Amino acid sequence: MEQAAFTGHQPVNNINVYYEFYPHQTSKKTFVLLHGFLSSTFTFRHLISLLKQDYQVLSVDLPPFGKSGKCNQYVYSYKNLAQTVIQLTKSLGLKKMTFIGHSMGGQIVLNILHMMPDIADKAILLCSSAYLKRSKLPLILTSYLPYFHRFVKYYFARTGVRKNLQDALYNHSIINEEMINGYLQPFLQDEIFIALTRMIRDREGDLPGKLLQQIKTPCLLIWGDHDKSMPLKVGEQLHKDLANSELIVLKETGHAVPEERPFEVFEYIKNFLESYQTAVE
């Protein structure tokens, strides 16, 4: 039975992390949801409404996004973000977890699985970031210039939320004011751009193939065939490098699969859990 949600901030790893926790009276299975770059737990709102009916759900705003802290002293590396999520799940006493990561959140999930192979029984990667290199040295050095965060803000202001959504979605007709405002809200204050400047320096790049090949956790990969951010060929290579993985391709779908195809994603997740459970038995 579904219970009331808990939302709030938890001081973890020297930063305040915002989370939404949806307990379930009879389910011991917990899904941990990690969003992508420039996003927040908002991106999972449709999927959460489906998952929480049968499972416990924890959705996290990865620093510095959403309502989480934007401290300039925090190290915004993938490794440290992964450690932060691990510490948050421990502080909440969660066990028997399945991680769901979209885009950059998928790369954080992969880091978690690499660091702590036993923390999750399964993982779902939605158009996961993979094989991206660290920022080039000239950009890293430039980020130390005074007020560089203003250039970062100007860049995002020029592209705009609507343009970013159009790039991420195949079906532009679903873009509405609620969606635009939901993605815009975290970027109305300057602190986010200062933190993003720090992230340019801290981000170490995605896990290389040799480390991905060491991950044995069963992984379901769900990809859009019209993904411009992480083209399908990235998913196909990730499927090859992850020894225990399955790849599902959604037709006429872009990068933002939790927005475009939440019902299909939910059904594939359920089937993945059931087929894996049957195989184990």
Query: What's the sign of the alpha-carbon dihedral 15, 16, 18, 21?
Result: positive
* R_g (Cα) of the chain, nearest Å: 18
Helix (H, G, I), strand (E, B) or coil at 222: strand
Residue count of the chain: 281
Which is nearest to 60 in space by CA: 83, 28, 27, 77? 83
Cα distance between residue 259 and residue 48, in whole Å: 11
Half-sphere exposure of 174 (CA within 13 A, CB side): 16
Looking from the CA of 109 toward its CB, the CA atoms found within 13 Å total 35
pLDDT tens by residue, 46-56: 999 999 999 99
The CA distance from 270 to 203, in Å, is 33
Structure token digits, residue 188: 């109305």
Q: Are 213 and 187 in contact, with CB atoms under 8 Å apart?
A: no
pLDDT of residue 281: 46
* pLDDT tens-digit series, residues 252-278: 999 999 999 999 999 999 999 988 665
Return the residue matching tokens 């992508």: 36
* Residue 181 DSSP one-character state: H
CATH topology of domain 6-134+205-279: Rossmann fold (3.40.50)
Angle subtended by helix axes 161-168 and 177-184, to nearest 10: 110
pLDDT in tens, the chain (281 residues): 556 789 999 999 999 999 999 999 898 899 999 999 999 999 999 999 999 999 999 999 999 999 999 988 899 999 999 999 999 999 999 988 999 999 999 999 999 999 999 999 999 999 999 999 999 999 999 988 888 988 888 777 777 889 999 999 999 999 999 999 999 988 888 899 999 999 999 999 999 999 999 999 999 999 999 999 999 999 999 999 999 999 999 999 999 999 999 999 999 999 999 886 655 54
Q: How far is residue 143 CA from its own chain's centroid?
A: 25
Burial class (CB in 10 A: 0-12, 13-18, 19+), 46: middle
Q: pLDDT by residue (tens digit) across 173-194?
A: 999 999 999 999 888 888 999 9
Type of residue numbered 200: I
pLDDT of the residue at 177? 93
Residue 20 pairs in a beta bridge with 7, 59
pLDDT score, position 275: 83
Closest CA to 232 of 261, 255, 207, 256: 255
pLDDT of residue 274: 87
**Half-sphere exposure (CA, 13 Å, Cβ side) for 101?**
27
Are 71 and 33 in contact by the 8 Å Cβ rule? The answer is: no
pLDDT given for residue 226 in this prediction: 98
pTM attached to this predicted model: 0.95
| Predicted pLDDT at 53 | 94
Q: Sort strands 97-102 and 120-126 into parallel, antiparallel or unpaired.
A: parallel
Does residue 165 come out as left (phi exceeding 0), alpha (psi in the -120 to 50 range) or beta? alpha
Residue 77 near residue 111, CB atoms below 8 Å:
no
- Catalytic site positions: 103, 255
Segments making up each domain of the chain, as ranges: 6-134+205-279
Q: Which residues contact 162 (CB under 8 A, 6 or more apart)?
A: 175, 180
